A and B are shown apart, each in its own frame.
Chain A
Amino acid sequence: DVKVTQSSRYLVKRTGEKVFLECVQDMDHENMFWYRQDPGLGLRLIYFSYDVKMKEKGDIPEGYSVSREKKERFSLILESASTNQTSMYLCASSVRHEQYFGPGTRLTVT
């Protein structure tokens, strides 16, 4: 079974803090994705990566950056957290367009 893990299930941060969300997959997938999910808005793609050190902007990249130094690990960075970044963050990896999600990190920015 594919396993995608995320570093935290719940996280509370203060406005202006730098936040790191880590995602690791164990199936040697080349493609990895970061989404946020909000009520009424569904899943929205923040960034994705098709290879090590490669990154592409998704639909809502503003306020975020990413890092992919190793194939199995894809990190999402909030340089200066804001309250409108309070959300559920979901990481996924994929093969043949079938995406496998991690359990999510519920981030609250106060």
Chain B
Amino acid sequence: RKEVEQDPGPFNVPEGATVAFNCTYSNSASQSFFWYRQDCRKEPKLLMSVYSSGNEDGRFTAQLNRASQYISLLIRDSKLSDSATYLCVVNDGGADGLTFGKGTHLIIQP
């Protein structure tokens, strides 16, 4: 069974701090990886894709470790508006699309 595991949190972090969380996946044949962000009572939205070489988008950095089968998301200089649930998402190459983790809840405190 395909599994994507995340620490549900909540992570309570002061504004301006750096926060990181990981996600592990069970299928070593997984092909592509994403982080989605979901605000309370809203739909998930694509935050960033995760490439083998790692990638950065402003304050956000995503890393992939295929050997250990985990993905990480680092947020620097956190803002109050970063408060959300972050979903780790894996594409196993199968016909049924993506496998979603249950999400990590992040709360940025003033």
B79 at interface (Cβ–Cβ under 8 A)? no
The answer on a CB contact under 8 Å between B43 and A97 is no
The answer on a CB contact under 8 Å between A98 and B97 is no
Please count how many residues in chain B sit with their CB below 8 Å of the partner chain's CB atoms.
Answer: 18
Encoded as 1 (CB less than 8 Å from any A CB) or 0, chain B from 75 to 97 comes to 00000000000010001000111
Interface residues of B in 31-63 (CB under 8 A from A): 32, 34, 42-46, 49
Q: How far is the CA of A90 from the CA of B44 in the complex (A)?
A: 9
Interface residues of B in 90-108 (CB under 8 A from A): 91, 95-98, 100-103
Identify B43's interface contact among A40, A45, A94, A104, CB under 8 A: A104
Chain A residues within 8 Å of B46, by CB = 98-100
A-binding residues in B (CB < 8 A): 32, 34, 42-46, 49, 87, 91, 95-98, 100-103
